[in-house]
Structure 1
Amino acid sequence: MAGCEVEEPLLSTICDQDGIKNEENSQTSFSGDVDEIVPVNGIKDLVREFYTESKKQWVLAGPISFTYFSQYCIMATTLVVVGHIGTIQLAAVSVENTVIADFSYSVLLGMSSALETFCGQAFGANQLDMLGIQMQRSLLILNIMALAMLSLFIFATPILKLLGQTASISTEAGKFSLWMIPQQFAYAMMIPTAKFLQTQSRVMAISVIAAAALGLHVFLTWFFMLKLGWGLAGAAMTLNVAWWFIAIAQLLYIIAGNCGEAWSGFSWKTFEKLWVFLKISIASAVMISSEMWYITVLTLMIGNLENAEVSVDASSICVNILGLTSMVGLGNNAATSVRVSNELGSEHPGRAKCSEVKLLVEELTPLLGLCILFTNVQYTLLGVAVGVGWQVPVACINIACYFLLGIPSGVLMAYKFKMDIKGLWYGMLLGLCLQSCILLWKICVADWNKEAYFAKERLKEWRGITDAGGT
């Protein structure tokens, strides 16, 4: 099948009530509307194009990677300090973070990737007034979703027990979950504003804010957890303060007038076509959240193994190492989605291309290295998918790779072949490998001129502009 024919149903959902052209008409009308792909002749042209695009990519990816690294270090700092309190406390925070909080965060982050597609393409097309409206829609939807997921935090203890976690871990994680409720609403505010700024390449602002938040968090963690000895209550308080600092600072930066025409204030247009935006956000959530959900399932399964506390602690360390080493990949993910969506929007398709714990961590290190490699490749490929607007087909690919291959094979190796935690990680590696290969193939066979046309039609239909030129 053609690489971009799969995506038309996604585009059709954006404004199906307005009536989008059928596929036959679109194929006959797009050829002259966008810049054709300029061929690369010889090594010299290839090197020139690679250098030009790499420079643009890293101008974005560098600050974004630093932002993600700083934000990731907020949680990592907390885990390091909690690890000195006790294994039960470390396991409890790890389970709350990877099962309860990460599930909620992954849904919010995934739903926000619709904002990357729409805002990125609108910015590329110089339709700046659309960006603020889209951000407000995302803010509204994500806050409603955060409210809807409160029950996960309120009933975390019985949920974790039902999922097979030990009573001691479930009880401590349940208490910590209640204290972490404010963090979820900070995420709902922080993520859309960050995407809004990223799609305009205003990445230095969010990196400075993230660095300031990390510095504040390190000081508060030292003061409340180490000096005053507040334990898990102190950990929860410092985390909530750090995330709300980021959320408020980014919003203030936007409404202070630093974004020009992209922000013209709050508008009632936010409530128009919300259902259409929500449908795309849901598809985005499934696409982006698949890997995070797999980590959640992995943690739950590890909690059912023998010596659960040690296994969970070891896996938590490996997951955090994987997360820290994936920050460059996440930066490239965001930068790639910005570059691809901007170029398609501007009709340039050619540019869019403990000692027990320590021992177990050492045994997992080779698998961790391979996961780091494939995770960073995967993030870049997902950035292309988000920039183009392939959320629906890629969501299906991710679900198939992780939940039809990764989990069953991991369970088989862990329990049937007695490989324990290593078997579960082997399963994750298989899912990552297959997903990366399929995404790479899909990108290679895509018709980028046609994708640029679809981006143009998407922006026209979203604004309600007809072929006759009315509004």
Structure 2
Amino acid sequence: MEGEFTVKLLRNIEAAEHANKGRESLKYKIWKENKKMWVVAAPANSPYDDFTRFIRKAFSQAFIGHIGSKELAAFALVSTVFLRFAQGILLGMANGLETLCGQAYGARQYHMLGIYLQRSWLVSVIASTVLLPVFIFTTPILKAIGQEDEIAEMAGTMALWLIPVIYSFIVSYTCQMYLQAQSKNMIIAYLAAIALSIHVFLSWLLTVKYKLGVSGAMISTVLAFWLPNIGQVIFVTSGGCPETWRGFSTLAFKDLWPIFKLSLSAGAMLCLEVWYNTVLILLTGNMKNAEVAIDALSICLNINGWEMMISLGFMAAASVRIANELGSGNSKAAKFSITTIVVTSFGIGFVLFVFFLLFRERIAYLFTENNDVASSVGRLSPLLAFSILLNSVQPVLSGVAIGSGWQSTVAYVNIGSYYLIGVPIGILLGYVYNLRVQEFSILLTYSSFF
């Protein structure tokens, strides 16, 4: 048979089923939709893989920050610029798998999910290998764009430590999308919670108890990223998904080009969002008092990212719910899902908005002992809080695009809003009108909301 991509996944459900749904009360519909939503989103708002992956990196940053300010600046560069560069590509490509698995599951084409997963593994391994030179030559790259030699050398050493983390993203993201489509992501939550506990213990043991410094923090980071992946693969291949995993198949090597195209579209959509913070860090590093500026900005982006991880849980819920409903041919239910998830995510974002307005620079001392850095974070707190509020909605809308297969359209929107409007305005304000780095960075961030 010619490629499975010619098979139409979207199909109509029985007319009687539609009629029964039409007679349901609004209260019951909201209750039922929330149950389906939280099956996917709840783990993301507790010890879920995306959330704890971010926390693992935050803990590494916290331990390294207490080693020294230059070490913190180097880690901020390599994690926010280079690691996020790779992470954006691989997570974006995995979102293409999320579209396929979600719609296939809604259309009851269960056997295709395992095939799609294996195809995504092949495509992601190729992409990760292509990215390796960026991490191998981190030091000369940073020196070429004007970073301080000492910070660039330290960042280059950290980048080599993070190469195994790049390959961990392949298993982590693809298995996550595969399991989410089936609402079986609680196993990821359990594994991620265990990995987080191990990471905190090892970070303390190696950096505080045995004083191994940066090397100790990086060893703990690598182990923490790989441990849950091993558990996920064992779960998938050892009977955890009997309907959708039929074993390894040679069909995985067929129709790779359509998978590659969809993965590129999904990758472009997400990368254009994720890399925007990278632009902030790079431009900040070339301004006055770069060390304090990078530290303060990286802490703000880190805090912003904590809330973003919660919103990404709702993004996952939106993509799964929309894909499943479209796969079963029920567009009305898909629209109702969008409304429910957006309202819920915005409500949580508002609570966090108030929280960060109240605590301001006190939060910065979790990451640094430098009073200048903490003061800079305090001055940014009101704008940071507004950013958190707005970010509670945007990822959910991206989830709608993923579930609908609109990644290419959103990629064009992101090019316009982030890079044709945001970056030029930020450069104008920062370099022409000489605004302080803090205001420059936040204004550049806010221009993304165009």
TM-score normalised by L of structure 1: 0.83
Offset of residue 260 of structure 1: 1.1
Sequence identity (%): 40
Q: Say whether 1:53 aligns with 2:33.
A: yes
Residues 31-54 of structure 1: per-residue CA shift (max 9 Å, x gap): 988879889999x94444333322
Out of 348, 353, 361, which is 2:377 matched to?
A: 361
Q: Is the Cα–Cα contact under 8 Å of residues 11 and 329 in structure 2 kept in the other structure? A: no
Note the 1:341-420 alignment, pairs <5 A.
341-353=323-335, 354-419=370-435, 420=437
Q: CA deviation at 1:150?
A: 0.3
CA shift, 1:165, in A, is 1.6
Answer yes or no: is 1:65 the counterpart of 2:45. Answer: yes
CA deviations over 1:158-211 (Å, ceiling 9, x no partner): 111122222111111011101111111111121101111111100110000100
Distance 2:317 2:433 in 1: 41
My pick for the range that moved more, 421-430 or 254-263, is 421-430
Q: Does 1:280 align with 2:262?
A: yes
Q: Is the 8 A contact 2:311 2:393 kept in 1?
A: yes
1:199 equivalent to 2:215? Answer no
Alignment partner, residue 323 of structure 1:
305
Structure 2: which amino acid aligns with 1:85? I
2:83 maps to which residue? Answer: 101
Secondary structure in 2 matching 1:225: helix
Q: Give the AA of the match of 2:419.
A: F
**Which of residues 237, 241, 258 is equivalent to 2:240?**
258
Instruction: Determine which of 439, 446, 449 is the counterpart of 1:422.
Output: 439
Q: How many angstroms apart in 2 are the aligned matches of 1:210 and 1:398?
A: 31
For residues 278-298 of structure 1, the C-alpha deviation after alignment (integer angstroms, 9 at most, x for no partner) is: 011001001011121000111
Please give the per-residue CA displacement for 1:344-402, whole angstroms capped at 9, x wherever unaligned.
11111111121110111011111111111111201111111100100110111111111
The alpha-carbon deviation at position 248 of structure 1 amounts to: 1.0
Q: 1:213 deviation in Å?
A: 0.4
Measure the CA separation in 2 of the matches of 1:63 and 1:306: 42
8 Å CA contact 2:11–2:328 kept in 1: the answer is no
Q: Does 1:235 align with 2:251?
A: no
Question: Aligned residue for 2:106?
Answer: 124
Which amino acid counterpart does residue 409 of structure 1 have in structure 2? I
Change (3 A) 1:19 1:323: closer
Residues 321-365 of structure 1, C-alpha deviations (whole Å, 9 max, x = no match) = 001122221100001101110111111111112111011101111
Match for 1:225 among 191, 204, 207? 207
Quick check: 1:77 aligned with 2:59? yes
- Asked if the contact 1:318/1:368 (under 8 Å) is kept, the reply is yes
CA distance in 1, matches of 2:92, 2:446: 21
User: What per-residue deviation string (whole Å, max 9, x for no partner) do you get for residues 125-152 of structure 1?
Assistant: 1111000000011111111111110001
Measured in 1, the distance between the counterparts of 2:372 and 2:430 equals: 19
How many Å apart are 1:65 and its aligned residue? 2.8
Which residue is equivalent to 1:162? Answer: 144
Cα separation, 2, equivalents of 1:137 and 1:299: 34
**Cα distance in 2, alignment partners of residues 347 and 41 from structure 1:** 15
The answer to whether residue 119 in structure 2 is matched with residue 141 in structure 1 is: no
Q: Distance in 1 between matches of 2:22 and 2:119?
A: 44
Alpha-carbon distance in structure 1 between the residues aligned to 2:431 and 2:18: 51
Q: Is 1:37–1:349's contact at 8 Å kept on the other side of the alignment?
A: no
| SS state at 2:211 partner | coil
How far does residue 229 in structure 1 lie from its aligned partner after superposition?
Answer: 1.1
The residue identity in structure 1 corresponding to 2:375 is L
TM-score, with structure 2 as normaliser: 0.87
Matching of residue 431 in structure 1 with residue 435 in structure 2: no
8 A Cα contact 1:411 1:424, kept in partner:
no
Asked if structure 1 preserves the Cα contact closer than 8 Å seen for 2:86 and 2:131, the reply is: yes
Contact map agreement 2:11 2:107 (CA 8 A) in 1: no
Matched to 1:59, the amino acid is V
Shift of 1:403: 0.6
Shift of 1:418: 2.1
Write out aligned runs for 1:34-45 (5 A).
45=25
Alpha carbons of structure 1 residues 14 and 319: separation in structure 2 relative to 1, 3 Å: farther
SS of equivalent residue, structure 1 residue 260: coil
Provide the secondary structure at the position in 2 that maps to 1:261: coil
Give the equivalent residue in structure 2 for 1:465. none
Instruction: Give me the whole-angstrom Cα distance separating, in 2, the residues matched to 1:41 and 1:261.
Output: 30
CA shift in 2, pair 1:38/1:356, >3 Å: farther
Amino acid at match of 2:326: L
Q: Which moved more, 1:206-215 or 1:230-239?
A: 230-239
One-letter amino acid of the structure 1 residue matched with residue 417 of structure 2: C
Q: 1:103-133 CA deviation, whole Å, 9 max, x = no partner?
A: 0111000011011100000111111100000
Instruction: Quote the RMSD (CA, aligned, Å).
Output: 2.3
Separation in 1 of the partners of 2:19 and 2:447? 37
Shift of 1:424: 2.5
Pick one of 69, 81, 91 that aligns with 2:73.
91
Where do 5+ consecutive residues of structure 2 fail to align?
A: 336-369
Structure-1 separation of matches of 2:227 and 2:12: 48
Q: Which residue of 1 aligns with 2:347?
A: none
Map of 2:93 onto structure 1: 111
Q: Please say which of residues 273-282 and 322-331 is displaced more in the overlay.
A: 322-331
Query: Counterpart of 1:211 in 2: which secondary structure?
Result: helix
The DSSP-based 3-state class of the residue aligned with 1:151 is helix
